[in-house]
Structure formats: structure tokens, C-alpha cells
Amino acid sequence: MIDPFGRTISYLRLSVTDRCDLRCTYCMPLAMQFLPRAEVLSIEELDRVASAFVRLGVRKLRLTGGEPLVRRGLMTLVEGLSRHLASGALDEITMTTNGTQLAEFAGPLAAAGVKRVNVSLDHLDPATYTRITRGGDVAKVIAGIDAAQAAGIAIKLNAVALRHDNADHLVALAEWAHARGAELSVIEVMPLGEVEADRIDQYIPLTEIRARFAERWALTDLVRSTGGPARYVRTSEGGTIGFITPLTHNFCGGCNRVRLTCTGQLFLCLGDDADADLRTPLRASEDDRLLDAAIIAAITRKPERHSFDYGVKAPAVARHMSRTGG
């Protein structure tokens, strides 16, 4: 699959549910309205649509959400999709999780061929973590990270940089990650969907965060292209830190990815409303010809670049990150 701007689409992020056991302040409102279950693709449908993308050239699949580990039947999906790893059609199945249930799932995920997992962890202090996530228990997340590492799964930590909640803590979080042989990526908070908090107040540019890391370590830029908005540095003690800056960095030229929601809505760009309905062709016949044609047609409409902007009061993109998938 090659889009009109010459970019090869080889990476699918698949949201398996919009539901979550946490309510992170920057991600969703406390009284989040979840989608009616009838609209959500079944495990069999998720397998079919992911397999169509693999057939059309996707080499890397990331399961996300909402919280992927709260989706019933998730392991059936992962075990089913692992046939594409065995056949060589797929290079990697990864996941982004909040880690609250990772202790239970680490062994089965490793057995199904999952080698890397991103765990979102914004703070190590139990009370602050509970406040940011509105109810989460950081001890469970740490137990999940321990279990994943013991099962041989490489862990990358993701932290959203928040001016008031964790900007002063990110150096300590990086030290903690590096001491366990994990990388830390820091994410700029994005204007996705309405939440109670004021996004401009939450926002801190990662140039400020990088300056704080630079006070602690000498940083060397790494040349590593992921096709995404991440830039990496190596610290003078050998740890790796990523900076994910969709707002201040133009990464769109190398973009290799599309995102599918749990209702079968394909988003061609995280920061744009261009989409395509794949559920209708998926449900219209058992044969995959309509589905394949809908995917190929959608790729021709991938926007050249995102349209994020903090200059307006309303969110730049109305849907929450938990719908589109991280």
C-alpha cells in the first residue's frame, strides 16, 4: 500500500476497545461515554480486518485502546494473529497498555510471540499516580512490568509530559526505567477530545523537558527512524530517551501508519478527521474482496500532514485518544 505522497503504509494500530479501567485526566473525562457494544467489532471481525491489512502489506501491528487488556477474548485475538508471525507475513505484534493487568497477561502474551510492550506510566509516586489516572494503583503497574520483563518481553515506558503533574519527576522516571533496562519516551500532550482539564495549562513543550534531562546527563542524538513522531537521545550513562512531539515536530513526511478503531473506522492520520468505514464492507460479505477494496481506496485519501493546533479553544480533533488508539 503506497499513498498519494509516496509513503508505504506498513504499520497498523488497532484499537480493540474504547473502554478502560482508568480515567487519565488528559485522556478522557470521568463520565466518559463508551460506545454501544453492538457497534464494536467482534474478536473474529478484528482478526479478519487485521489479517486483511497484513495481506495488503502491513508488517507491524500494535494493539491499543482504550485499555487492550480489558477487552474480553483479547488472548484469542493475539494467539490467532500470531499465525502471521509464524508465516513471516508480519514482523511484530506489540501492544500499548496501562499495565494494570500485565502481571496476569505477560506469560500468555510472551507465549504468543509478543516481544515488546509499551507501558504508560506517568508517575511513580502512588498518590500522584492515583490522582493522574483517577483511581489507578501504581504497584499493579510495577508488578506488571516485572512480570513482563521476567517473561522476556522488552518494556518501553511512555509518559505524557504534564506541566503541573510530572514535569519535575521525569528525570527520576528516566533513571528508574534505565536502571531496569527499559527506555522512556516522553509524549507531548495532544488536543484530542474534550476533558475537564485545560489543555493549554497541561501542555509543556518537550524542549523544556529535554533541557531538564540535559542538566542531568549529556545527551547524544540517535539516528533511528520509526516512521513516527519520535526522536531519540542516548544519555551519558547509556539509557535511551524518546521525545514524541507531534505538535512541535513535523514528522508527517515519513509517516507509515494508519489507525483502526474498535468499531472499524479507519483513521488515516492521528491529527486529521479523514476516515473510512471498514465495518460495512466487513459485515457485507464473508468474502474479503469488498474489505480489501475499501482499505485500498482509503489509503488514497491519507492526508499529507496533520492539522493540530492549540490556537483554538475547542479540541483540534474532537475524538479522544482512547477512541483512535495511542
Binding footprint of ligand SF4 on the chain (CB under 6 A): 20, 22-24, 27-28, 65-67, 98, 120, 322
User: Cβ 288 to ligand SF4, closest distance in Å?
Assistant: 30
Of these partners, ligand SF4, ligand SAM, none, which one is at the site of residue 189 (CB under 5 to 8 Å by kind)? ligand SAM
Q: Which is nearer to ligand SAM, 247 or 294 (CB)?
A: 247
CB 81 within 8 A of CB 31: no
Give me the residue whose beta carbon is nearest to ligand SAM.
326
User: Cβ 136 to ligand SF4, closest distance in Å?
Assistant: 8
Q: Which is nearer to ligand SF4, 85 or 247 (CB)?
A: 247
Q: Which is nearer to ligand SAM, 160 or 182 (CB)?
A: 160
User: Cβ 185 to ligand SAM, closest distance in Å?
Assistant: 9
Of these partners, ligand SF4, ligand SAM, none, which one is at the site of residue 23 (CB under 5 to 8 Å by kind)? ligand SF4
Alpha-carbon gap, residue 262 to 227, rounded angstroms? 23
- CA 171 to chain CA centroid, Å, is 22
3 state DSSP class of 186: strand
Give which of 156, 70, 94, 95 is closest to 121, Cα–Cα.
156
User: Cβ 275 to ligand SF4, closest distance in Å?
Assistant: 20
Quick one: cell of 169? 519527576
Q: Where are the beta strands (DSSP E) in the chain?
A: 11-15, 60-64, 92-97, 116-120, 154-161, 183-188, 219-222, 230-235, 240-244, 257-260, 265-267, 275-277
Of these partners, ligand SF4, ligand SAM, none, which one is at the site of residue 97 (CB under 5 to 8 Å by kind)? ligand SAM
Strands 116-120, 240-244: parallel, antiparallel or unpaired by DSSP?
unpaired
Counting Cα atoms < 13 Å in the Cβ hemisphere of 117 gives 32
Q: Which is nearer to ligand SAM, 55 or 315 (CB)?
A: 315
Q: Write out the residues near ligand SAM by the rule CB under 6 A.
A: 20, 26-27, 64-65, 67, 96-98, 120, 158, 160, 187, 189-190, 192, 321-322, 326
Alpha-carbon gap, residue 129 to 118, rounded angstroms? 17
